[in-house]
Amino acid sequence: MTVPMTLDLPGAQEMSAGDAHAFASDPPAYLRRLQDLHGDVFRNGPGQVYVGRPELVQLLLARTNRDTSAEMDVLGDMRAPTRNQVEGWMRARRLASTAFREPAVTAHLGAVDRAVRAQLRAASSGTPFDPMDVAPEVFVHAALPFCMPGTDPAVAPAAVDAARTFLDVIENGMGAPPAQQRERQEAARSAKQALRDATDAVSAQDAPLVPGCPHTVVHATQELQPGVRSHVLTTVLSAASVVPGAALAWLFHELTRRPTETARIRDEARSLPDDLDGCALAEVLPYAQGFAKEVLRFHPPTWMTGRATGDPVDLGTHRLPPRQFVSFSPYLLHRDARWWDEPERFLPERWLGSHPPHAPHAYLPFGSGTRVCIATHLGVAVLAVAAARLASDHVVEAAGPLPVTSRFGVPMRPENLRIVLRDA
C-alpha cells in the first residue's frame, strides 16, 4: 500500500517578535510547545522545518550529501559545497577515520590517559576556573596522538582558537550587520591559517612517531595532496576542541553534584592497570563509560542541528518543500519519554545493560549517517578516562556564586560554572 505524501506542513511560515523572544529565552521549551501543538514535523519560521521523530531524523541524516547538505561555506559566501568538494571531503574523511576506529582507541588508550592526566594535573591548582577555558585544550591534547606524529606547543591553543572563531561566526555572525560578520569571518580565517602554519611546521619536521601510537591522521592520509592533508588535519584538530570541550565541561559539572556516582567511578578506577594501552574501555571502565554517555545524553553540546535541502525531500509521509533548513534537536530527543525511560533522571547505570536504553536512533550526541562524527569512540573514551582520573586523583568542586544554567549556543555549554580542582 502506498502512503500519501503530505505537502502542507503545520506551523508558521514567519516568526513573530514574540516567537523570536520565546525561542531566545528558553529554546527547548519553545520547541516543545510547538511540538505539542503541531506534532513531530512542522514549520518553525521562513525556510525552516523542524523534525522531532527519531526514525525521520535518521532518514534525513542518511540522505546527507545526496539530497541534503551538512554544511555551508561559513567563512565565504554561505553557499553549499559543490559536488566535487563533497566528494573530496568524503574521500579524505574515509582515510582519516581509520585513525579513530575502536581498535585504534583500545590500542592507544594509554596515550589518552597520559595526556588527560598531564592536563588535569596542570589545572589542579586550587584556583577557580571556567571549564570552557580549559576543557577544549584538554581534549585536543588527548586527540593529538591520533592526529599527528609529534607536536608543538602552539598546536593545541591554535586548534582551540580556530574552532572558537569559527563557531563565533555561526553563533553571532549570521544575523549581525555585514561589517561585523566580515570581521568575524576574517578572524576565523586567520585563526585557521595560524593552525595550518603550526601543523605544517610539525609535519615538515619529519617528527618521530608518538611512542605507542604509530597510526595517525597524518599517516592515514599519505595518499592525498599535501594541501588537502593539511586541510583535513586542521579540520580534525579544530573539531577535537570546543564541541568536545563543552561535553567535558558538563562532565566537570555533573561530578561536582553527584558524590555517589563519583565514589563509584573512584572505586572502579582503583583497579586500573598503570598502562591502559590495549585496554578495552567497556572492560576497564564500564561505569565511567556509562557516566560519560549519560553526560552526552543530558547535555549534548550539539543540542540542535540540521541539514539544508535543495529539491523537495520525502521524509516518511511528509514531502518537505525545496530549499529548507531542516532541523532536529538531540537535546529534545534525549529527553523525550516516548524514546527513553525516566529521561529527566541522570542514570549512568542505564548504559550497563546489553541493549541500548532507548528507542532506535534516539541517541545522537555525535550525529548519525554519512556525516556522523569521525571520533565517536575517542570522544567517549576521553570523557570516561577524564571522569576516572578526576574522581580518583583530584577533588572537584563548584565555586560559582550563581546557579549553573545551559547556554543554548554553538555549542551548548554551562554558564556560571566555576570549578576548583585540587589534588586528592
Tell me if 57 contacts ligand HEM by CB under 6 A. Answer: no
Footprint of ligand HEM on residues 115-154 (CB under 6 A)? Answer: 139, 143
According to DSSP, the residues that pair with 406 across neighbouring strands are: 414
Which phi-psi region, left, alpha or beta, contains residue 129 (left: φ > 0; alpha: ψ -120 to 50)?
A: beta
Which range of residues in 50-58, 125-133, 373-381, 393-401 is near ligand HEM by CB under 6 A? 373-381
Stretch that binds ligand HEM, among 45-53, 308-316, 333-341, 362-370 (CB under 6 A): 362-370
Angle at 64 between CA 58 and CA 70, to 5 degrees: 110
| Stretch binding ligand HEM (CB under 6 A), from 24-32, 35-43, 282-290, 360-368 | 360-368
Of the listed pieces 9-17, 194-202, 249-257, 375-383, which binds ligand HEM according to CB under 6 A?
375-383
Q: Does 366 bind ligand HEM (CB under 6 A)?
A: yes
Pairwise CA distance, residues 313 & 85, whole Å: 22
Long-range CB contacts (within 8 A, 24+) of 279-282: 279/106, 279/109, 279/110, 280/106, 281/105, 281/106, 281/109, 281/377, 281/380, 281/381, 281/384, 281/385
| Cβ 254 to ligand HEM shortest distance, Å | 14
Residues numbered 259-298 forming contacts with ligand HEM, rule: CB under 6 A: 296
Q: Which residues contact 57 (CB under 8 A, 6 or more apart)?
A: 51, 328, 333, 361, 364, 368
Radius of gyration of the chain (CA): 22
Least spacing, CB of residue 29 vs ligand HEM, in Å = 22
* Shortest CB 148 distance to ligand HEM, Å: 11
When binding is defined by CB under 6 A, the residue of 49, 243, 315, 388 that contacts ligand HEM is 243
220 binds ligand HEM (CB under 6 A): no
The CB-nearest residue to ligand HEM is 367
Strand duo 419-423 + 305-309: pairing: unpaired
Q: Is 56 in the site for ligand HEM (CB under 6 A)?
A: no
> Least distance (Å) from ligand HEM to the CB of residue 35?
21
Under the binding rule (CB under 6 A), the answer on residue 172 touching ligand HEM is no
Using CA atoms, how far residue 64 sits from 56, 60, 86, 169, 259, in Å, is 13, 7, 10, 23, 42
Q: How many residues bind ligand HEM (CB under 6 A)?
A: 28
What distance in Å separates the CA atoms of residue 42 and residue 32, rounded to the nearest whole number?
A: 12
371 is a contact residue toward ligand HEM (CB under 6 A)? yes
Closest by CA position to 266, among listed 391, 422, 352:
391
User: Closest Cα to residue 142, out of 365, 351, 371, 389?
Assistant: 389
105 contacts ligand HEM (rule: CB under 6 A) = no
Based on CB atoms, which residue is closest to ligand HEM, 42 or 139? 139
CA–CA distance, 5 with 2 (Å, rounded to integer):
9
Report helix angle 131-147 to 226-239, nearest 10: 140
Determine the interface stretch with ligand HEM among 111-119, 148-156, 299-307, 333-341 (rule: CB under 6 A): 299-307
Residue 373 contacts ligand HEM per CB under 6 A: yes
Structural contact between residues 251 and 346, judged by C-beta atoms closer than 8 angstroms: no
Q: Which of 51, 374, 385, 386 binds ligand HEM (CB under 6 A)?
A: 374
- Kindly tell me which of 106 and 420 has the beta carbon lying closer to ligand HEM: 106
3-state secondary structure of 135: helix
Residue 409's nearest CA partner among 52, 102, 132 is: 132
Q: Is 147 annotated as a binding residue?
A: no
Cα distance between residue 38 and residue 24, in whole Å:
20
Q: How far apart are CA 401 and CA 399, in angstroms?
A: 7
Per-residue x/- marks for ligand HEM, 8-47, CB under 6 A? Answer: ----------------------------------------
302 binds ligand HEM (CB under 6 A): yes
240 lies in the site for ligand HEM, by CB under 6 A: yes
- Contact between 389 and ligand HEM per CB under 6 A: no
Interface residues with ligand HEM (CB under 6 A) are 61, 70, 93, 139, 143, 235-236, 239-240, 243-244, 247, 296, 301-302, 305, 365-368, 371-375, 378-379, 383
Residue set of the binding site: 373
Residue set of the binding site for heme: 373
